[in-house]
Amino acid sequence: MKERNFNQGLVLANPVLVELTRGETVESVHRGAVAIANPQGELILSLGDVEAEVYPRSALKPIQAIPLLESGAADSFGLNDEHVALACASHSGELMHTTRVAAWLNSIGVAESDLACGPQAVRYEPLWREMIRRGEQPGRVHNNCSGKHAGFLTVARHWHATISGYEQHDHPVQMAVALTLGDLAGIATPLPWGVDGCSAPNYALPLAAFARALARIADARSLREPRSLAAKTILAAMMAHPDLVAGTGRTCTILMRGARAPLAVKAGAEGVYAAMIPAHGLGIAIKADDGAGRAAETAIAAVLDGLDLLGHDQGSRGVFRAPILNTRDSIVGERRAAAVFTDCVRHAFRQSP
């Protein structure tokens, strides 16, 4: 299939990564791009237009957390791996998340009202139903990004920078994030930026460059201290606390808990998924063209399966091949990686079908 871009001439569409069936027929497809890089900057796998700029959205959080460690702020305030995992999290707003974030804010001398992110509905349905029954409204601490923002505030406090406006792109904390991303990705700054859903800046860069940045976290030996230690700490915290990175029944938690070797994965809005594989020193970046999270979830599971890292538990396999149910909970189809995509992944890693 070809598409016409009148500014750039004739270009090929990105390949189909994920398809949905109903009965024996493919009903819908999701196109996208995949970049897998090693710490030397080499692309091990490149599918689709990996040089197109994308916003990593929440998949950027592990990199946004690096100044928290690199600056010495985490040590200064006595933070542990749980705090670091929450700084990288898109959490569900469960008590295990909100109580820890609230205590963190108190420990650095700020209030929930100092968070720049807005209130957000709790993603864990049993708790959300209970809150509705009691007439409780969610607060800013329930926002899935509240841990990231607590990290930003911690850096601001450590640097004695202003708290108000810490989410602005020209605040020292956000400038440090942008410089860190550009350095890890090997691209010049300033980077194009936009405002994320939580009010903080998010930076656009080629998908391939994002994969390279992730690979340098997966294998931090090429980084100088204290950044190398910061990258190792972030990776270790995410792998040790997958429940804090996402939550009960969430895909990131399921994939990390079930993985056959330690790894870290992180979803982002608009069909983005990232992974860091320390055993192989690989960074993986995926972007679904249509922004569908379901497509990115299945695509990252397919890559992990190609690496023989996908867990054999029911939850992990259910991400790889997800049943489609009707209103009577009968299976009427499935969501799966396209055969051409899985073949490319297996070929790239020399794995037989």
Average pLDDT along the chain = 95
Q: What is the pTM of this model?
A: 0.94
Closest to 86 in 3D by CA, of 265, 263, 253, 246: 246
Give residue 1's pLDDT: 37
Is residue 59 over pLDDT 90? yes
DSSP secondary structure, 184-197, as one string? HHT--SSPPEEE-T
Domain ranges of the chain: 2-348
Give residue 4's pLDDT: 39
CA distance 30 to 45: 19
Q: Going by DSSP bridges, is the β-strand pair 25-37/43-47 parallel, antiparallel, or unpaired?
A: antiparallel
> Locate tokens 């007439």: which residue?
135
**pLDDT tens across 224-250, in order?**
999 999 999 999 999 999 999 999 999
- 349 or 106, higher pLDDT: 106
DSSP secondary structure, 206-218, as one string? EHHHHHHHHHHHH
Task: Check: CB of residue 259 under 8 Å from CB of residue 311.
Answer: yes
Is residue 284 over pLDDT 80? yes
Give residue 12's pLDDT: 67
Per-residue pLDDT band at 132 (split at 50, 70, 90): very high
> Region 68-95: what's the mean pLDDT?
98
Find the angle CA(240)-CA(246)-CA(249) to the nearest 5 degrees.
Answer: 105
User: Rounded to whole angstroms, what are the CA distances from 27 to 23, 30, 104, 289, 335?
Assistant: 9, 11, 47, 17, 10
The 10 Å CB-count burial string (b at 16+, else e) for 313-330 is: eeebeebbebeeeeeeee
Note the CATH architecture for domain 2-348. Answer: 3-Layer(aba) Sandwich (3.40)
Give residue 13's pLDDT: 87
